[in-house]
């Protein structure tokens, strides 16, 4: 195919489809690049800055995020230059100060050989990767979440931080959250997503009485997928 390009990855020549994000190419070749805001189901966002790599093109070296930088002919990509390691380490240290008790962050820092202790701790498990906001918009299509404020007070939340009226309680945000910051709980027939102040009644199976999913979620899917009215009357086991 004529839209194949040749790049080098840490010195090894590789053929790749033009435009493929460098991160995907590296992963395919088992070259480790840490990421915190990447999910294959989402459009690359490039904000955690953990996936930085050094590229050289026409003699000019740059540091770019591999999650969204597209492969192009003649690109030389290096994932572990001194510059990359140094920058990635300070980014890791900044995140470690933000979430110093978060297991995922602590483990990643340890893997990258980054120690904390130099910076004032913030103690916020949300690392602002934005995956919750993006999944709700790009995958679920509900857009119940957005960012509030800017700078250091930026946080993901519902409009006006009020209990969400659009959240369907699907829990996608919980599944994609890399740090476990978003807390969800099913209790006595109600699904709570505490971060969004959401409490949704669960629908029950007309046969076995088991809880299926929040009624609002089932209504939403039925509507968007144009399913029959009684489609979710029964749970998956009873069908």
Binding site for other proteins (CB under 8 A): 44, 46-50, 52, 63-65, 68-70, 83, 86-91, 94-95, 97-98, 118-120, 122, 127-128, 130, 146-147, 149-154
The CA–CA distances, whole Å, from 4 to 34, 62, 168, 206 equal 26, 23, 42, 54
Residue 26 CB, nearest approach to other proteins (Å): 16
Q: CB of residue 1 vs other proteins: minimum separation in angstroms?
A: 21
Based on CB atoms, which residue is closest to other proteins, 94 or 221? 94
Residue 230: CB minimum distance to other proteins, A: 40
Neighbours of 233 (CB within 10 A): 16
The DSSP annotation for 20-41 comes to: -BHHHHHHHTT-----SS--TT
Write down the least CB distance from residue 149 to other proteins, Å. Answer: 7
Which is closer to other proteins, CB of 148 or CB of 211?
A: 148
How buried is 150 (Cβ within 10 angstroms: 0-12 exposed, 13-18 middle, 19+ buried)?
A: exposed
CB nearer to other proteins: give 124 or 233.
124
Nearer CB in complex with other proteins: 103/154: 154
């Amino acid at each position: 195919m004529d839209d194949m390009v040749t790049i080098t990855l840490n010195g090894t020549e590789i053929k790749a489809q033009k435009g493929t994000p460098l991160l995907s190419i590296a992963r395919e070749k088992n070259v480790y690049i840490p990421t915190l805001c990447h999910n294959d189901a989402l459009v690359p966002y490039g904000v955690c800055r953990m996936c930085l790599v050094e590229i050289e093109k026409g003699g000019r070296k740059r540091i770019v995020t591999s999650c969204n930088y597209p492969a192009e002919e003649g690109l030389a990509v290096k994932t572990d230059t001194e510059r990359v390691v140094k920058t990635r380490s300070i980014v890791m240290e900044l995140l470690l100060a933000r979430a110093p008790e978060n297991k995922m962050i602590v483990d990643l820092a340890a893997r990258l050989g980054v120690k904390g202790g130099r910076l004032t701790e913030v103690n916020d498990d949300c690392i602002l990767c934005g995956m919750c906001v993006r999944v709700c918009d790009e995958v679920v299509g509900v857009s119940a979440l957005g960012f509030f404020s800017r700078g250091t007070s930026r946080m993901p939340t519902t409009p006006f931080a009020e209990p969400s009226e659009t959240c369907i309680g699907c829990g996608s945000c919980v599944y994609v959250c890399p740090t476990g910051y978003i807390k969800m709980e099913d209790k006595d027939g109600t699904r709570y997503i505490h971060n969004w102040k959401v409490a949704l009644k669960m629908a029950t199976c007309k046969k076995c009485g088991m809880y299926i999913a929040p009624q609002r979620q089932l209504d939403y899917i039925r509507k968007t997928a144009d399913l029959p009215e009684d489609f979710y009357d029964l749970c998956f086991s009873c069908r």
